[in-house]
Structure 1
Amino acid sequence: MAQIVEIAYANLLSPMILFFLLGIIAVLVNSDLKVPTAFYSGYTMIILFTIGIKGGVELRNVSLIEMLPTIVTAVFLSLLMFFISHLLISKVFKYPIVDSFAIAAHYGSVSAVTFIAGLAFLDKAGVPYESYMSAVLVIMEGPAIILAIILYKLHSRSHGEDITNPNASLKHVIKEAFFGKSIFLLLGGIFIGLVAHVDGLVMIQPLFGDLFYGILCIFLLHMGMIATESLTKIKNIKPLSFLFAFILPVIGGTLGVICGNIIGLTTGGSMILAVLTGSASYIAAPAAIGQAIPKANSGLYLGSALGLTLPFNLIIGIPFYYWLATLFDKL
C-alpha cells in the first residue's frame, strides 16, 4: 500500500495532472478563463496526430503476427467491458436500458488522453512497453460503440419504437465509430508515421514532438474545466448513483493487467492495456451515441466518463494499474 501511495503522489505532482486540477479550480471559483473553440480544435488535432505518427514510426519494426495476440485480446476486452458495464449499470444501479447502452458504449471504448497520460507516466519512470500500443488504442475505439447501437436498435424494434433517424443507420454508425474525427486523425497519423520519409518526419518534429506535452497540458486544463462543468449540469442524481464511474475503471484495469500477463506483454505493456481497458471515451463515443441514441441522457454518459472517470484515472487509476502490473509481474 505504501508503494502505491508513493506512486500516486509522484503522479499527482506531474505537470499534466496539475494543469487538469487547475482547470477544475477555474470552474469552481467561477473564473472567466475560456479556451477558444478554434484553439481547442487545433490542439486536439495535434495531439491525435502525434499519437498516430509516433505509433506509425514504431510499427515499422513490428510484424502483424507479433501484434495479433494483443489485437484479439484488445477487442475481447472492449466487448467484455461493454457487457460488464451494461449489466452493472442496468441491474445494480437500475438505470434505464437506453442510458445503460449509451454509458456502456463509453466504458467499452477508450480515452486517448488517458492513454497519453499512461505513456507519459511510463516514460518518466523509464519503463519500456510494446511499441504498437497506439494501434491498439485505435482498435479499441469502435467495437463497443457499434455493439451498443446495434443492441439499441434491436431493443427499439422489439418495443415497436420508431428508429427511422438516418443517423441511427448501421452504415452511418460504422462510419462514425471507425472514421469519425478522432479515429481518422489517429489512423492518418499512423499512416504518415509508417510511410513518411525519415527526413520529412524530422522536419515536423518541433510541432508533433517537442511541443507535444506543452500542448497536452493546455488540453488537460481545458478538460478539467469541461469535466467540472458537465458535472454541475447534472440535476436530481444521487452521488451514489455514479459509483460505477469508479468501479468500472478498477474492473477494467484489473482485467487489462491479467490479460496482458496471459498473452506475455511486458509490465509496461500490461499497464497500458489496463489503462485502455479502464478508461472511458469522451470524444468518439459521445459523437456516435449522441446521433444514434438521442434518447440517452448525455449528461449521464458525459458526466461519468469525462467528469469522474477521467480525473480518477489521471490521479489514481494510472498509478494503481502500474502497481498492479508490477505486482503480477512478480508472481
Structure 2
Amino acid sequence: MEFLTDFLTKFAAQLQSPTLGFLIGGMVAASVGSRLAIPDPVYKFIVFMLLMKVGLTGGQEIRNANLVDMLLPALFAVIIGILIVFIGRYTLCKLPNVKTEDGIATAGLFGAVSGSTFAAALTLLETQKMSYEAWSAALYPFMDIPALVTAIVLASIYTTSKQHGNTDEYLSKQEYLGKQRVTAGDYPSDQGIVAHGYPSKERQRVKIWPIVKESLQGSALSALLLGLALGLLTQPESVYKTFYEPLFRGLLSVLMLIMGMEAWARVNELRKVAHWYTVYSVIAPLLHGLIAFGFGMIAHYVTNFSLGGVVVLAVMAASSSDISGPPTLRAGIPSANPSAYIGASTAVGTPVAIALGIPLYIGLAQALGG
C-alpha cells in the first residue's frame, strides 16, 4: 500500500511539469479556434536542434562508456521494436472495420520512436534529478529501424499473399473454363496462361536495405546520428555548453505547444476511420512502455543499467514516430491510409505517451528505487 501511495504521489507531481503544460496549452488553443500558427520550417529547426543536442550528449558519453554495458539494452531495443509491430498485427488488425494494411502501418508507427517525446522524457528526468546513461540516445535507431522494417515486411507479405490467393482463384477459374472449351485432341498449356498476360504466381521478395536506408536518411534520425558522430569524434564541449544546452528547454516547450495544436488538428482525421484506432492509441503506448520497462529492469539487474535508462527505454517504446516514420511508411506501405496511422499516432498516441506514459514510468522507477 505504501508503494502504491508513493507511486501515485510522484505520478501526480509529474503531471504538473511545464513540458506537459505546453502540450495541453497547444491543444486548448487549437480547440478554441486560435489562429496561432508556427511555421513548418521553425518546427523542423526546433526538432533538429533538440535531436542534435541529444546526439551530442550521447556521443560525448559513449567515448567514456563501457560498450559491453550497451549490448543488452541495444538488443532489448531491437526485440521491443519488432515485438510491438507483431502485437499490433495480431490485435489491432483483428478488430472490426480495421483494414490489415492500415493496422500494420499503425503498429509500425507505434513501434518506431518519436524524437520529440524522447527529448521531453530526458528533460523531465533532468528536472527530477534522475540520472540516466547519456548514451541511451544511441538506442533510438535500434528500436526505430527494426520496427519500420518489420511493419513494411509484414504488410508486403500480407499484400503478396492476398494477391497470390486472388491469382490462385483466377487461375483455377481459367483452368476450369479452359477445360470446358477443350475438344478432342486439344491440350491447354499451363505456361500459356502466364504467356498470355495472366497474373503470375511468383512472389516478389521484400528488399530490406532500401527500408533501412530510407529510415537512416529521415530528418530526425539523421540529426540524431550526426550529433552522436560529432559528439564521439570531435570536441564539441564549447558550442554544446554555450549554444545547445541553454536553448534546449525553451525550444522543447515551443515544440510541445506545436504538438498540442497538431494533435487537436488530427482528431478530425481520426474520426474518419474506425473507433478501434482510438482505443488502440490509448492502450498501446502504456502497454508498450510497460513491456519495455520490464525488459529494462532485466538489464538493470544484469548490467546495472540505471533506472533512468529504464525510463528512457520505456518512453521510446511508448512513443510513436512523428517525423521520420510517416514518410517511410507512406513509401513502404502505399496501400495504407495515412489518416489511420498518422491520426492515431499524433492525435492520441503522442499525448498519451507524453502526458501519461512519461510520468508513469518516472514515478514507477522512483518508487522502485526508493
Give the TM-score of the pair, scaled to structure 2.
Answer: 0.82
In structure 1, C-alpha distance between the alignment counterparts of 2:11 and 2:99, rounded to whole Å: 35
Matches within 5 A, 1:7-86: 7-86=10-89
Larger Rg: 2
Structure-2 change in CA distance of 1:173 and 1:314 (3 Å):
same
Q: 2:249 aligns with which of 187, 190, 213?
A: 213
The answer to whether structure 1 residue 201 and structure 2 residue 206 are counterparts is: no
Counterpart contact for 2:11–2:362, Cα < 8 Å: no
In structure 2, C-alpha distance between the alignment counterparts of 1:4 and 1:243, rounded to whole Å: 25
In structure 2, C-alpha distance between the alignment counterparts of 1:59 and 1:51, rounded to whole Å: 12
- The equivalent of 1:269 in structure 2 is 309
- The equivalent of 1:222 in structure 2 is 258
- The equivalent of 2:335 in structure 1 is 295
- The equivalent of 2:225 in structure 1 is 187
1:13 positional shift: 2.3
1:84 positional shift: 0.9
Counterpart contact for 1:290–1:298, Cα < 8 Å: yes
The answer to whether structure 1 residue 104 and structure 2 residue 107 are counterparts is: yes
Counterpart contact for 1:279–1:310, Cα < 8 Å: yes
In structure 2, C-alpha distance between the alignment counterparts of 1:44 and 1:91, rounded to whole Å: 35
Counterpart contact for 2:98–2:274, Cα < 8 Å: no
Q: Deviations over 1:26-84 (max 9, x none)?
A: 11011111111221221121111111111111111113212111111110111111111
- The equivalent of 1:176 in structure 2 is 214
Q: Deviations over 1:250-294 (max 9, x none)?
A: 221211121111122222121211111122112121010012212
Structure 1: runs of 5 or more not aligned: 163-167
Q: Deviations over 1:202-225 (max 9, x none)?
A: 134333110111011111111111
Instruction: Report which stretch shifted further, 237-246 or 21-30.
Output: 237-246
1:237 positional shift: 4.0
In structure 2, C-alpha distance between the alignment counterparts of 1:204 and 1:90, rounded to whole Å: 45
Structure-2 change in CA distance of 1:208 and 1:65 (3 Å):
same
Counterpart contact for 2:319–2:353, Cα < 8 Å: yes
Structure-2 change in CA distance of 1:282 and 1:191 (3 Å):
same
1:5 positional shift: 3.7
Counterpart contact for 1:93–1:241, Cα < 8 Å: no
1:327 positional shift: 4.8
Counterpart contact for 1:254–1:324, Cα < 8 Å: no
Q: Given residue 180 of structure 1, which amino acid in structure 2 is its aligned partner? A: G
- The equivalent of 2:321 in structure 1 is 281
Q: Given residue 58 of structure 1, which amino acid in structure 2 is its aligned partner? A: E
Instruction: Report which stretch shifted further, 206-215 or 316-325.
Output: 316-325
1:149 positional shift: 1.0
Matches within 5 A, 1:246-265: 246-264=282-300, 265=305
Q: Paired residues, what number?
A: 323
Q: What CA RMSD, in Å, does the superposition of the two structures yield over aligned residues?
A: 2.1
In structure 2, C-alpha distance between the alignment counterparts of 1:42 and 1:95, rounded to whole Å: 36
Structure-2 change in CA distance of 1:25 and 1:9 (3 Å):
same
In structure 2, C-alpha distance between the alignment counterparts of 1:11 and 1:239, rounded to whole Å: 29
Q: Given residue 313 of structure 1, which amino acid in structure 2 is its aligned partner? A: A
Matches within 5 A, 1:124-163: 124-160=127-163
The answer to whether structure 1 residue 234 and structure 2 residue 270 are counterparts is: yes
Counterpart contact for 2:47–2:116, Cα < 8 Å: no
In structure 1, C-alpha distance between the alignment counterparts of 2:133 and 2:96, rounded to whole Å: 37
Q: Given residue 124 of structure 2, which amino acid in structure 1 is its aligned partner? A: F
1:131 positional shift: 2.6
Counterpart contact for 1:261–1:329, Cα < 8 Å: no
SS at match of 1:233: helix
Aligned-pair identity (%):
29
Structure 2: runs of 5 or more not aligned: 165-198, 200-205
Q: Given residue 221 of structure 1, which amino acid in structure 2 is its aligned partner? A: L
In structure 2, C-alpha distance between the alignment counterparts of 1:93 and 1:160, rounded to whole Å: 22
1:322 positional shift: 2.1
Q: Given residue 177 of structure 1, which amino acid in structure 2 is its aligned partner? A: S
Q: Deviations over 1:138-157 (max 9, x none)?
A: 32111110111122222222
